[in-house]
Amino acid sequence: MRNGWVLLFILMLGCLPASAYDHKYAAEFLNIGVGARAGAMGGAFSAVADDASAGYWNPAGLRLLSRRQIGLMHSAQFGNEVKYDYLVFGSPGGVESYGVSLIRMGIDDIPYTEDAFHDWGMDNIPPGSPGDDGSDDYDPATNPDGTEGNGTWDPYDSTFPDLPGEGIDEGAIEYKSDVEMALLVTYAKTIGALSAGANAKLIRQGIGDASLLGLGGDDTMFGFGVDLGLLYQIRPWWRTAAVLRDAVGTLLVWNNGTRNTKTPTLTVGNAVFARAASNQVRLTVAADVDLRFEGRETASQFSTGALSADLRIGGEIAYREAIALRAGLQPSSRDKEPYGRAWDLTLGAGLSFRGMMLDYAFSEHRVFDQTHKVSLGLLL
């Protein structure tokens, strides 16, 4: 009964109204997912979560580790446009487990054109030059529709076919990088057939000159949040899970004073396991549902009002715990109507030998290029 009350409490926390939060997609890099094994299973991993990456997928799953483990992942997202990296350490104990995870996403060569356009007006004639009669000079009182000196870029507009529009000085374009990072510290404990876990996470984003950590960014953001997770062994062949990310809303504060909030996400998952061929073959089938409360509408598979839902499905077949094949379906979005209600195919494989695990995952995307993930795990 006590376990039921705990599950109900998490569900109640997850149903906070979207009106309490102000921004969609804040710190969205944390929703990409870590680990090639989980990635190949479409991200349906909250009830599987039996390796060190549990610190991300379900902190309670860290109790399933039997030995200390180190994990590394590199992902080339969307044709290597986005670089996504992950480092994790997990350590099990008697009834308690601990873990530390570091996530980094980087996007380089972003054109920064704020100071690169000529604010000369739609006629694109330098102020004071022949032909500049001053009629388009901006003045908030006498000429609020003026485009020269209004502080915004006014490109060519077919409504005014005789005016070329303001130009861009390509030599003044700066190329900057966006670096987004998160540090997760995980604690998990077993209570009978129930495991419970929590993350404390520090989030940092920097936009500026290229650097490994983005510490010298012109625009910087810091945030702090908490994740909660439960894992319950219903039968030896069946596990169920509930994970509440950003449990009380994660506050993100920018150096210019802007504040965003990353809203809670409730994930409910189940996984079933079967053995065959004298226990030499293991089959895993899993499904997760991500519930969000920020009105994602057509950016999700299913939506009604502020509530949206995305379904993930994955499977794994392993032989002697040495070779594994995986497949899954993860939520996607179409670039044309009808939007939403789409899935991308994920595939992957893994090898395990003497405490070393090598995993690979591939995923397609309906709009962007393919994504490849490679993970390496070591048992200590």
- Residue owning tokens 């309490």: 20
Q: Minimum mean pLDDT among 44-58, 137-151, 202-216, 344-358: which range?
A: 202-216
What pLDDT does residue 197 have? 96
What pLDDT does residue 210 have? 55
Q: Is the pLDDT of residue 369 over 50?
A: yes
What pLDDT does residue 3 have? 47
Three-state DSSP at 72 gives: strand
Q: Is the pLDDT of residue 186 over 60?
A: yes
Please state, as a whole number, how many other Cβ atoms lie within 10 Å of the Cβ of residue 81.
13
What pLDDT does residue 12 have? 41
Q: Minimum mean pLDDT among 67-71, 167-171, 174-178: which range?
A: 167-171
Which run of H or of E encompasses 2? Answer: helix 2-14
Evaluate whether 305 touches 329 at the Cβ level (below 8 Å).
no
Evaluate whether 108 touches 89 at the Cβ level (below 8 Å).
no
What pLDDT does residue 28 have? 86
**155 or 53: which leads in pLDDT:** 53
Q: Which pLDDT band holds residue 163 (cuts at 50, 70, 90)?
A: low
Q: Please state the rounded mean pLDDT for residues 23-39.
A: 88
Three-state DSSP at 255 gives: coil
Percentage of residues of the chain with pLDDT beyond 90:
50
What pLDDT does residue 18 have? 42
The amino acid at residue 39 is: G
Which run of H or of E encompasses 221? Answer: strand 219-235
| 374's tokens | 């490679």
Q: Please state the rounded mean pLDDT for residues 179-199.
A: 94
The span from the CA of 144 to the CA of 275, in Å, is 74
What pLDDT does residue 269 have? 97
**182 or 28: which leads in pLDDT:** 182
Q: Is the pLDDT of residue 9 over 70?
A: no
**298 or 273: which leads in pLDDT:** 273
Q: Is the pLDDT of residue 156 over 70?
A: no
Segment 190-224, tens digit of pLDDT: 988 899 999 999 999 887 665 555 555 677 889 99
The span from the CA of 290 to the CA of 308, in Å, is 8
Three-state DSSP at 20 gives: helix
What pLDDT does residue 81 have? 77
Segment 83-132, tens digit of pLDDT: 899 999 999 988 899 999 999 998 877 777 766 767 777 777 777 777 77
What's the longest Cα–Cα distance across the chain?
Answer: 90
Three-state DSSP at 63 gives: helix
Q: Please state the rounded mean pLDDT for residues 7-22.
A: 45
User: Model pTM?
Assistant: 0.80
What pLDDT does residue 302 have? 84
**56 or 161: which leads in pLDDT:** 56
Evaluate whether 365 touches 325 at the Cβ level (below 8 Å).
no
Segment 238-267, tens digit of pLDDT: 999 999 999 998 999 988 888 988 889 999
Cis peptide bond upstream of 331, omega within 30: no
The amino acid at residue 249 is: G
Q: Which pLDDT band holds residue 77 (cuts at 50, 70, 90)?
A: confident
User: Taking all residues of the chain, what is their mean pLDDT, rounded to a whole number?
Assistant: 84
Q: Which pLDDT band holds residue 189 (cuts at 50, 70, 90)?
A: very high
The span from the CA of 213 to the CA of 202, in Å, is 14
The span from the CA of 94 to the CA of 74, in Å, is 32
Q: Is the pLDDT of residue 1 over 50?
A: no
**307 or 338: which leads in pLDDT:** 307
